[in-house]
A and B are shown apart, each in its own frame.
Chain A
Amino acid sequence: MSDPVAMSRPRIGAAGKTGTWRTFRPVVDREACNACGLCAMYCPDGCINEDLEIDLDYCNGCGICAHECPKKAIRMDREDK
């Protein structure tokens, strides 16, 4: 289908897999987590779903989830090269 004007269409990962930018990976301690959902609420990229699973293909490792977690249940571990 050709467009009359240059038009972009929505696609997941429109800017590539931004998870590759990450230097620190969020690791969730499920024992400590009380499923309050603050991490998902504050994730700038919406990478945390309803079951509070983190999409590591697109998480760029900002660490807001770990900083805002009231139970300190998210740890940021350095990525291996």
Chain B
Amino acid sequence: MIRMAEIPKEEYLEKCTTACAGCTSSLTLRYVLKAAGPDTVLVVPACCTSILQGTYPNTAFSVPVYNIAFAAAAACASGMSEAFSSIGKKTNVIVYAGDGGTVDIGIQALSGALERGTDFLYICYDNEAYGNTGMQRSGATPMGARTTTTPGGKTDAKKDIDRIVAAHNIPYQATATPAYPKDLFDKVKTALATPGPSFIHVLAPCPPGWRIASDMSVAVGKMAVKTGSWVLWERKYGELSISAPSKGAMKKRAPLREYLSLQGRFKGISESVVNELEQSIEKNLARLAKEEAGEC
């Protein structure tokens, strides 16, 4: 058990949640809570995580959870964080929201909380659609992906929430994926140690939604990083650094086709859409490399 040495053994998710087999959102939450520890409150808007807690009067989560409406999570966390600090408590306030609750419905509350400088951590676990209600398209769905509301493949590009959040100039911002749990754990630790608002965007491959076998969800997450579709980085007080797994991917990128062909949602994707995705990856990588080098 050498690899687990730095990560605490304690589990704050009881066995077992109602998450689908192979769910990377519950894998993410395991590491988020390991990093945050018991003195933590989760604020959860409508998303898969509000369902997978179990049925009343039992819950699988051994930290306090406040379930709240879709549009209100970050606003609620603002109030909570103020209340804790006014009575001198150092409790971690973490919003754990899906991509629909972040990039679409929750965006105004998120923007407000970031602007107010609320001391909290906002985690967006991104399965690139409204998974809980049956995989409808969201603003975070990538171009070409089939969902129940885009049966021919989405024609619009994925909304770049990271650049929207970056425009608020918050102290700490990062991307992660549970396929690299140590990287995710370290980023949550850093985010909670940084005063003021922090934001972590986590790619969470979803077996039923992405039409992948349940044993492939971690492998698909690794492939997303290796192809450059998902770039792992962190930005502390405006200083960007690209994380180790993505450094390797930037030197030698795996072919995008290998990532797309693993997933049933990209079945029958046209050559022109693949080219567009390829170009957007190249642009994104070039922009991040420039920013890291201090050229822009």
Contacts and interface: CB of A to CB of B under 8 A. Distances in A.
A and B form one complex:
yes
Nearest to A38: B3
Interface string A37-48: 110111111110
A67 B18 contact: no
A46 B15 contact: yes
Contact of B17 (A7, A15, A41): A15
Contacts of B13: 45-46
Contact of B16 (A35, A58, A64, A67): A58
A63 B21 CA distance: 8
Contacts of A42: 27, 181, 218
Interface string B1-21: 111100001010111111101
Contacts of A66: 215
Contacts, number: 126
State the majority secondary structure of interface residues on A: loop
A76 B214 CA distance: 12
B68 interface: no
Contacts of B1: 35-37, 40, 50
B80 to A, nearest CB: 16
A6 B214 CA distance: 34
B61 interface: yes
Chain A, interface size category, equals 35 or more
Interface string B189-215: 000000000000000000100000111
A10 B14 contact: yes
B58 A11 contact: yes
A4 interface: no
B49 interface: no
B102 interface: no
Interface in B26-59: 26-27, 30, 52-59
A47 B16 contact: yes
Nearest to A57: B15
Contact of A47 (B9, B15, B54): B15
B59 A14 contact: yes
Nearest to A61: B21
Contacts of B219: 67-68
Contact of B14 (A11, A36, A76): A11
Contact of B58 (A8, A38, A47): A8
Given A6-B56, A58-B16, 15 more contacts: A8-B57, A10-B59, A14-B16, A14-B55, A15-B54, A18-B16, A36-B3, A37-B2, A40-B1, A41-B4, A42-B181, A46-B15, A62-B21, A63-B215, A64-B218
10 smallest CB-CB distances across A and B, nearest first, come from A14-B54, A63-B215, A62-B22, A58-B16, A8-B59, A62-B21, A14-B58, A62-B214, A58-B15, A15-B18
22 contacts: A6-B57, A10-B62, A11-B14, A11-B58, A14-B16, A14-B59, A15-B17, A44-B19, A44-B22, A50-B1, A50-B9, A61-B21, A62-B21, A62-B22, A62-B23, A62-B217, A63-B213, A63-B214, A64-B214, A64-B215, A67-B215, A76-B215
